[in-house]
């Protein structure tokens, strides 16, 4: 089966300017390569600072990678602009309170990708918006709301709707569950699993909680200091960790569970 996403030797180093002329490069992640099949979920785990967010951002085009290629269905996306990318790959940010414009109605937030990337009429866009809202368990009336009127769980649903509305092949989610409380978290997880089953979307989830990772993901990448130290089917990696970093992550969380 042909993978929907294949990442080849992708790397990113940030250039920091000190004063006018001197600069320093910080490696966020070293060249990494991996593939993802359609409808599968890939989890990325690792300590903080290991380059997970940078990888997620480079995949979706928030930052430009320093080298390497990102192929979706065989087309290299690395040098494409946002317009060409966003119908293929979309991002959900960690904190829904900062990723929704406080001055825009939910309807307009959801309409903006349609307006910019499709030729739909005003009416068709309204229908797509209310469909998307209902798909994530909200009401059509929520289109008139402003973000401040929603709870954080509802906001994260809106963020998911924004990611889904262009019917992309891949959705990248950077620690979307971290800011939600436990009950809301399981609702969102189930929502994601439902959506994935219906539309056969591939997910890349940056996550922290290995219990959740085991539940939702098919494959897992363990990162440490910008390198992939382990990559494989989730069950295999978590049941039989080869690398000390993976073992340490598992141990940390087991200690937490016992407490």
Ligand X SMILES: Nc1ncnc2c1ncn2[C@@H]1O[C@H](COP(=O)(O)OP(=O)(O)O)[C@@H](O)[C@H]1O
Give the binding site for ligand X (CB under 6 A).
14, 16, 26, 28, 46, 48-54
Q: Find the residue with minimal CB distance to ligand X.
A: 53
**Which entry of Mg ion, other proteins, ligand X, none binds 49, CB below 5 to 8 A by partner kind?**
ligand X
**Which entry of ligand X, Mg ion, other proteins, none binds 62, CB below 5 to 8 A by partner kind?**
other proteins
Beta carbon of residue 120, minimum distance to Mg ion (angstroms, whole number): 35
According to DSSP, the residues that pair with 14 across neighbouring strands are 26
Tokens encoding 258: 């016992």
Nearest to 163 by CA among 112, 125, 212: 112
What is the helix (H) or strand (E) element at residue 115, kind and residue range? helix 106-117
Q: Which is nearer to Mg ion, 5 or 173 (CB)?
A: 173
Residues near other proteins, by CB under 8 A = 20, 60-62, 81-83, 85-86, 90-91, 93, 95, 98-105, 108, 112-113, 116-117, 144-146, 148-149, 162
Q: Which is nearer to ligand X, 61 or 147 (CB)?
A: 61
Beta carbon of residue 73, minimum distance to ligand X (angstroms, whole number): 26
What is the helix (H) or strand (E) element at residue 22, kind and residue range? strand 22-36
- In sequence order, the 6+-apart residues with CB closer than 8 A to the CB of 156 are 92, 96, 176, 180, 184, 188
Residues within window 21-80 making contact with Mg ion, judged by CB under 5 A: 53
Beta carbon of residue 182, minimum distance to ligand X (angstroms, whole number): 22
Q: Which is nearer to ligand X, 18 or 103 (CB)?
A: 18
Beta carbon of residue 227, minimum distance to ligand X (angstroms, whole number): 12
Beta carbon of residue 114, minimum distance to other proteins (angstroms, whole number): 9
Q: How many residues bind Mg ion (CB under 5 A)?
A: 1
Q: Which is nearer to ligand X, 16 or 144 (CB)?
A: 16
- Beta carbons within 10 angstroms of residue 255's beta carbon: 9
What DSSP line would sit under 71-98, residue for residue? Answer: EETTEE-TTS-HHHHTTTEEEE-S-HHH
- Beta carbons within 10 angstroms of residue 101's beta carbon: 13
Residue 193, burial from CB neighbour count under 10 angstroms (0-12, 13-18, 19+): middle
- In sequence order, the 6+-apart residues with CB closer than 8 A to the CB of 91 are 56, 57, 60, 62, 163, 171, 172, 173, 174
Beta carbon of residue 174, minimum distance to ligand X (angstroms, whole number): 7
Please give the residue ranges that form the binding site for Mg ion (CB under 5 A): 53
């Amino acid at each position: 089966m042909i993978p929907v996403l294949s990442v080849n030797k992708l790397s990113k180093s940030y250039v920091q300017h000190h004063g006018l002329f001197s600069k320093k490069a910080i490696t966020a992640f070293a060249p990494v390569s991996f593939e993802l099949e359609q409808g599968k979920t890939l989890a990325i785990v690792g300590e903080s600072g290991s380059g997970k967010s940078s990888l997620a951002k480079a995949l979706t085009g928030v930052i430009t990678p320093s080298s390497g290629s990102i192929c979706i269905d065989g087309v290299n996306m690395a040098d494409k602009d946002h317009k060409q990318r966003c119908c293929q790959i979309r991002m959900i940010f960690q904190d829904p309170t900062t990723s929704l414009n406080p001055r825009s109605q939910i309807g307009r937030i959801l309409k903006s990708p349609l307006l910019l990337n499709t030729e739909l009429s005003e009416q068709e866009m309204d229908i797509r918006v209310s469909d998307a809202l209902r798909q994530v368990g909200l009401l059509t009336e929520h289109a008139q709301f402003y973000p401040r009127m929603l709870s954080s769980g509802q906001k994260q649903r809106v963020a998911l709707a924004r990611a889904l509305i262009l019917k992309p092949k891949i959705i990248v989610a950077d620690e979307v569950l971290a800011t939600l409380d436990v009950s809301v978290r399981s609702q969102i997880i189930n929502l994601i699993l439902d959506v994935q089953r219906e539309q056969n979307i591939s997910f890349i989830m940056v996550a922290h909680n290995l219990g959740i990772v085991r539940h939702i993901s098919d494959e897992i990448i363990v990162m440490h200091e910008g390198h992939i130290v382990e990559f494989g089917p989730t069950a295999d990696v978590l049941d039989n960790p080869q690398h000390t970093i993976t073992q340490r992550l598992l141990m940390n969380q087991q200690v937490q569970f016992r407490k």
